[in-house]
Amino acid sequence: MRSYLILGMSILFLIHYFIETQWLQYSLVIVALLAFFGSVTKADRFPRIVGLIMMGVGVITEWSKGTGGDGISDGIILILPLLCLLTLVPLLAIPLRLSGFFESISLLLQYLLHQPKKLYTGITGTLFILSPVLNLGSIKIIHEFLEDLKFPSAMTAKGYIMGFSTAIMWSPYFASVSLVLHYLDVSFNEYILFGISLGLLSLIVGNILFAFWIKRHPLALGDPQTGQMDKKIRKQLLKLILLVLILLAACLGIESITHWSMMVIVCFMSIIVPLVYGIITSDWKRMLPLLVDYRDRTVPMMNNEIMLFMSAGMLAFAMKGTTVMNGVSSILMSIANLSFFLFAVTILLFVLVVSYIGIHQIASVGVLAMQLNPVELGISNVALALILLLSWSISTALSPFSGLNLMVSKLAGVSGMKEGLRVNGQHVIIFSVISIVIISFVK
């Protein structure tokens, strides 16, 4: 039943985007709240408690502002694009799985198995390509190929977290990029080159640091593989890269023509791509079990995300314009007038500290994106977007409460606190300093 509620909420949102009627909005809010409270008993303990607290504080704050039910309704509607994105994007994994791309990735990693530096590049590079489309599912796929190899936990944590966190800064299929660009009214066309450049920079810095790390921690995996990799594997990998580029180009093209929200475009792409794949290949017999699995297992397992995303979005919307956030804005404006570098560092630390409390970046970054005025700060919308997304990426990599760290801590067998600060702290500091310097030229 919850699966149909969540899917129904997503479809209703897409309809509401084009047909804005009062009764449809109220229906959408009711379905969204039913999905939220339906996830309460199924969510893990921590997301459930934090989600209920954030939702409660958000509702009380919005009510105290005098907006009542309309304000609460607007707050929920504002975060629904992200929930729709979260729900529908996993559909893209179906054609990727059926096309044999995952098997090619497995063979690539096996080929690089006895070359630690190249293997690390293969892991992080694969995550750079897959994460924008498959989200955390990309880590699960990579780990299935590597879990029996007994790599050092530090290497696993470094590779997974660094490779995944790059997508947070540039992928339109991620909630981070869609949310920040939406709130700051920045088109994806205008942002993509800057965002993907920072993602590649993170990849380069991480691989350079790993080259130094492996010298201090030699990893004996046997003799290097001889001979060239099978042409069929290389061809499949090139097809995968081409497919990701086509998906990005399609999103850019549709946005420039229609001027629709990128979140809406990505939602439609997530539905259309599997549908087109099914029509072209007529492989419905193999697709049907995966679609049933998506409905019966993937969607119902989104309890934690629904609790955290909806409640954090409600809290961010409610905090906008409050005395507290007006005070924060004034302080940040004063800092920006003194030094752009200091301003950027302050944003990074603010988002990181809040994430360490357990509050999702949707709340902290969301409220900053809604509250801060780039003109008053003396910077461009793109520069502010880059700072906020850099903050989101870094806090995701370091916070022990982020979904990324919680997953990797289980897979790598290290605590979220250790894998965040000790394992990835050096990479985060170096990458942050270089990024802020680069962004200062964009402002």
pLDDT at 197: 93
In DSSP notation, 187-227 reads -HHHHHHHHHHHHHHHHHHHHHHHHHHHHHS-----SPP-S
| Cα 425-429-430 angle, rounded to 5 deg | 120
pLDDT at 225: 54
**240 CB burial (10 A radius; 0-12, 13-18, 19+):** buried
pLDDT at 418: 56
Q: How far apart are CA 149 and CA 143, in angstroms?
A: 10
Query: Which residue positions in the chain have pLDDT lower than 50?
Result: none
For 378: left if phi > 0, alpha if psi spans -120 to 50, otherwise beta; the answer is left
pLDDT at 208: 93
CA quadruple 426, 429, 435, 437: dihedral positive or negative?
negative
> 314, 58 in Cβ contact below 8 A?
yes
pLDDT at 237: 81
C-alpha distances out from residue 86 to 162, 175, 255, 344, 415, Å = 21, 7, 20, 29, 26
Q: Which helix (H) or strand (E) holds 71?
A: helix 68-88
Q: How far apart are CA 316 and CA 62, in angstroms?
A: 10
